[in-house]
């Protein structure tokens, strides 16, 4: 059984996972408007991942005897000054999510909630990949400085990304 404090924290994280989904969809829209379909694809896949993460929280809360609560969030930013700024925002957002997941893990450990700590361990590992993936693209963008040919090559590379649901989501 989840404590009230843990249930509240997990519901708040679920909100952030849905927020992440919509943030990345807004970024995909920005890229679509710039005819950068590969970048849009990367963000759309990222949005699908975040939705899956949110549903993992939803299902876990319910299975652990809690009450999943869907919460609203603020309007998404839809305009960005550059492709580089989109990925700077992405990296910072993923670092924020990482801090939030780590805080949840700390709370689970403090409450000796081993089931929740076990559930969260997948997210702890996932966040390493999330930050690294976005950081790699940011690093590449900073190298090419949004120059036409290099930007188009990166756009083609990002178009290859596909959504693969995590095994943890199937459990």
pLDDT digits (tens, 9 = 90+) for 62-71: 999 999 999 9
Asked if residue 168 has pLDDT above 70, the reply is: no
In a domain, 127, yes or no: yes
Residues 6 or more apart whose Cβ sits within 8 Å of residue 86: 27, 30, 31, 39, 80
Residue carrying the six token digits 């899956």: 52
Euclidean distance between CA atoms 94 and 125, whole angstroms: 13
169 located within any domain: no
Does residue 168 sit within a domain? Answer: no
What pLDDT digit, counting tens, does each position of 7-60 carry? Answer: 999 999 999 999 999 999 999 999 999 999 999 999 999 999 999 999 999 999
C-alpha distances out from residue 155 to 38, 94, 125, 146, 160, Å = 4, 21, 27, 11, 9
Euclidean distance between CA atoms 111 and 107, whole angstroms: 6
Tell whether pTM > 0.95.
Answer: no
Residue 170 belongs to some domain of the structure: no
User: Domain range for residue 61?
Assistant: 4-162
CATH value at residue 22: 1.20.1260.10
């Amino acid at each position: 059984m989840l404590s009230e404090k843990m249930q509240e924290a997990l519901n708040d994280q679920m909100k952030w996972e849905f927020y992440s989904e919509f943030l990345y969809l807004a970024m995909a829209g920005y890229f679509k408007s710039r005819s950068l379909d590969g970048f849009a694809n990367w963000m759309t896949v990222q949005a699908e991942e975040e939705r899956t993460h949110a549903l993992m929280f939803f299902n876990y809360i319910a299975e652990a005897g809690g009450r999943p609560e869907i919460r609203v969030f603020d309007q998404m930013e839809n305009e960005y000054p550059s492709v580089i700024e989109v990925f700077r925002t992405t990296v910072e957002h993923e670092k924020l999510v990482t801090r939030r997941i780590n805080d949840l893990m700390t709370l689970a450990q403090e409450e000796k909630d081993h089931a929740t700590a076990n559930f969260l361990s997948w997210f702890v590992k996932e966040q390493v990949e999330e930050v690294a993936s976005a950081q790699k693209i940011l690093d590449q963008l900073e190298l090419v400085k949004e120059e036409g040919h290099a930007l188009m090559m990166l756009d083609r590379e990002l178009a290859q990304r596909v959504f693969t649901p995590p095994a943890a989501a199937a459990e």
